[in-house]
Amino acid sequence: MNDRVTMTPTDALVGRTIGGKYVLMEKLGAGAMGAVYKATDNAGGLCAVKMMEATAVADPALRERFEREAKALFALRHPHVLEVRDYGVDNGLPYLVMELLVGRSLEEMVVEHTPDPQTGIELAKDVLRGLAFAHGKGVLHRDLKSENIWVTWDGQAWRAKLLDFGLVKFEDEDKWGAGKKLTMQGSVFGSPAYMSPEQATGQPVDARGDVYSVGIVLYELVTGSWPFEAENQVEIMRMHLLQPPPVMSTMREGLTVRPELEALVQKALAKKKDQRFADAVEMLAALEAIPSPGAYLGAQPTAGHQVPPPDAAPPAAVLVPMTTMPDAPNRTWLYIGIAVAVFTILALMGAGAGYFFLAS
């Protein structure tokens, strides 16, 4: 697979009408598989159109991944999942028509101004609500990370939506009409900082893999950092495989965390998947049962009102990430590097440790 994709020139698509209904007004963002445009529909309403790039269309695997994302999102109508309104093919280019989102990615929020811990917990509940709905439909995300979660301030509280189901897996392939697996056992896909041990070693992944990734997101929202951080791929993967996550209260100055929340995160991040929550539904129920505040900075607050940071109302913006590919920015490494790191780790760990994870 090529790790460089030649993008369609911006002026070739801006101004064009897609599917006879959507006029592309402005290019908002781009990735390895294509670009996202601000557009208007026939009624004059605003929307976002994600266009697959011509070079990517020529790769059957990439086209299938794009189409699977369309199928998954179109079926997942939920307040905490990105709304897809239409999809089709225009002059050979597949496209998705989505709601136009205002706000920023959760990754940007955490980096620019880490939310207060209870606000982070509430955002994690939103993520789990969307994911629980997906799991109920037999859909796994497999690439949950802060970059793939969108947040916006509605005037009273932060709200979160799940984005980018490009690595989606359908638990019942016949039901979804795919007829074949998107990836083969032994393949490694995803983002290392959020990847479960079984996903990192190329083993079969179920809803408990998504639970692990949400556990990382929750940890990040409460503490402002990942539980496992290192300067190289081999070390971070080794930590996922072997090292327990640090207690959250030690990761942020002045942070107090309820024991119930510490226990919940430790369970979500268990190395063996059969020791985690069965799915997002079960994890959400456990999180909602924890009294508020589940965590706080300094003196315990007396009210649960979410306090927005100074820049809670940023200029209108939208960025719907492309399916994770080798040239994706920020915290995602090249897949080939991940595979090399995993096999290096397993070699260093030895056969006994390798058996432990492969059999779990």
Please give the full DSSP string across 88-99, using - where no structure is assigned.
Answer: EEETTEEEEEE-
CB atoms within 10 A of CB 113: 14
Q: Tokens 């063996």 correspond to what residue?
A: 272
Contact (CB, 8 A) for 293 and 300: yes
Catalytic residue list: 143
**Distance (Å, rounded) from C-alpha 243 to C-alpha 264?**
17
Residues in the chain: 360
Q: In this structure, what DSSP letter does residue 283 have?
A: H
Q: Between vectors from CA 125 to CA 143 and to CA 252, what angle results, nearest 5°?
A: 85
- In a 13 Å sphere around the CA of 118, the CA atoms on its Cβ side amount to 21
CA nearest neighbour of 73 among 194, 167, 213 = 167
205: tokens are 């992944």
